[in-house]
Structures are given as C-alpha cells and as structure tokens.
Amino acid sequence: MARVTEAVVSGTWFVVRTSLPLWRTRDNPSVTYAPLPDGRVVDTVRFTRRGRAGLIIGVDTPLPDGGWAWRGVSLLTRFTVSRWQVLAAGDGWAVTVFERTPFTPAGLDVYARTPSLSAAQAQEVEAALDGLAGAQPFRAALFSPRHDGR
C-alpha cells in the first residue's frame, strides 16, 4: 500500500463506493485535490444531478494526527468543518472516512483514479476494508454511485 497521505493529496479521484446517501441522487461524483504551497489542499467535488453540473469547493488543512480538516469556501459551506482521514490506499485506490457535518452524516468513500475499480483493485479494497476498524460502522451502507458509461 502507498503512503496514505501522499496517495490522495493531488489529482482527481472518482467516488466508486460510498456510504454517503447524497450520492444516491447525484451521479459522476469525483474529488480533485490541488496542493497549495502552504501545505493546505484545495478540494473540489464535482457531480451531476438531473444532468446539471454541481460543484462543492473546500480547503483541507492538515491536522497533527495525520488527518485533514475540510472547510467549505461558499457562503453556504464557509462555516462547515469536517475532519477526514485516509484509512488505506493502494495502486489507484484509496479509502477515506469523514465525520458528520450539518449537511452530511459521517461516512466512508472508496476512491479510484478511474470511474470503476478493476477486479484486482476491488479485491484489494475489500481486503483493506476487512482489516480497518474505522471502516466497519459503514460497511453495510456501502453502495456504488452511478458514473456515466457504467
């Protein structure tokens, strides 16, 4: 497995499995991380809903425990903070867990560099989830959000 912090702090990831109910009514979820010179990361979530593009932008600040504190930048999300961390990462995939916010429950996302996991990646993710105590509360609620072309 890759070092989990370095594995997700840059580039685009597709949400391929999640426990977040929000993704049941939105399609094509992805997150793009763009590192800033000061160590923070711009976090851009993109999705579609009924064919219309959606966007949520935040800034992630590293925490001493290795996790991150996300804060929204829009008027609606500016006062929203959510702590999250990477639990595991491998070749082209990562597992993140996040605390609840006023808008979302606590949950777990499985990311991939493509809109779906390969069979080998899916096996790696399942094995990783089996060994992660922090993932267990969310396992039963995991589903795959819709991505165009899938």
Query: Could you read off the pLDDT of 81-139 as tens digits, one per residue?
Result: 789 999 999 999 999 999 998 778 999 999 999 999 999 999 999 999 999 999 999 99
Q: List, for residues 37-76, the tens digit of each pLDDT value.
A: 999 999 999 999 998 999 999 999 999 988 999 888 866 6
Residue spans per domain, the chain:
4-141
CATH code at 4-141: 2.40.128.20
CA distance linking residue 80 with residue 100, whole number of Å: 10
DSSP codes, 104-123: S-SEEEEEESSSS--HHHHH
pTM: 0.90
Q: What are phi and psi of 126, to 5 degrees?
A: -60, -45
